[in-house]
Amino acid sequence: MMVGSELWISPLDRPNLSITLRPGGVLAITHLTMQRTGLSTLYLYVSDPDAVKRLLDARLTHQTG
């Protein structure tokens, strides 16, 4: 569901993870075959939000390190 510059991806449950995106970035969600620009925040429901946070932190550290 799109709400302004926010995208909510959750089957039924309230999202338990929010990701703030860099301005001007492009988000491609291959599973849903969509690409969006102008987004500021992505809200997701995932089964293990801490694991997703660790993976994202590791990926971002690797890209900027």
- Give per-residue pLDDT as tens, 36-56: 778 889 999 999 999 999 999
Mean pLDDT of 15-34: 82
Q: What is the domain count for the chain?
A: 1
Q: What is the pLDDT of residue 26?
A: 76
Phi-psi region of 4 (alpha: psi -120 to 50; beta: other; left: phi over 0): left
What is the C-alpha separation between 22 and 24, in angstroms, rounded? 6
pTM over 0.85: no
Domain range for 21 is 2-64
